[in-house]
A = this chain, B = another copy of it.
Amino acid sequence: MLYAGFMSTAPPPLPRPEDAVGQSELELLQLDTGPVVDEPCLRADAARNRARLLEAAERLVAEHGAAGVTMEAVAAAACVGKGTVFRRFGDRTGLLAALLDHSERKFQAALLSGPPPLGPGAPPVERLRAFGCAMLRRSIDELDLQLAAEPSADRRHTFAPRRFLRGHLALLLRQAVPEGDSELLSHTLMAYLDVALLHHLTEQCGMPAERLREGWLDLVARVTRTEPPAA
């Protein structure tokens, strides 16, 4: 089984929404190549409708914000039946995730094969620092969409992109903190970068991004028991 499914029940004739930004199970090996690559020959009409839907969704986001993206509205705007939207994207968060797919893919690529310190080549602690700063930047950029794309509480942690990022953190932590429980620590670090938390701190508390950045560097220093970089 190549994909981790997003849906609770996946009846055979519904092979699974292809575009649910699935990740290969290889993600833990850092060989994840992303979802679309293996999207195996979508039927012509299906591909057409998929494009229509994404375009319509994008327009709706631009016009009414992420909250305005109702499944019905997207379907109507794309001149497509509601069932089609669900068949293609599984559920609302799947659709939103597909909208964020491009950015996600770029980010993953930067981690796996981009220039250091984000990509390989730099010492792990430095990569940890860079990771957080990049995540902060990206999340704050796309706050509303990211927030709306957050899956329900019980699926949040099995959500493929998140699993990938957390796995990456765990990898770096294994190198930087060999004596620690890198699984648990990776969850802790991920939580600092949680979209809902960022939203709360920036929008509701008015906290400046710079403070969040410093907080991250400090947290990494404490967790790895190193000294923070010179300010």
Give this chain's copy count.
2
Chain B residues, CB < 8 A from A156: 196, 200
| A197 touching B187, Cβ below 8 Å | yes
| B150 touching A196, Cβ below 8 Å | no
Query: Shortest distance in angstroms between A142's beta carbon and chain B's nearest beta carbon?
Result: 15
Chain B residues, CB < 8 A from A180: 218, 222
A158-170 to B contact mask, C-beta < 8 Å, 1/0: 1000000000000
- Stretch from A39-47, A110-118, A207-215 that touches the partner: A207-215
| B211 touching A181, Cβ below 8 Å | yes
Per DSSP, chain A at the interface is: helix
The count of chain A contact residues (Cβ–Cβ below 8 Å) is: 32
| A185 touching B225, Cβ below 8 Å | no
Q: Of B191, B199, B214, which is within 8 A of A194 by CB?
A: B191
**Interface, chain A (partner B; CB < 8 A):** 147, 150, 153-154, 156-158, 180-181, 184-185, 187-188, 191-192, 194-197, 199-201, 204, 211-212, 214-215, 218-219, 222-223, 225
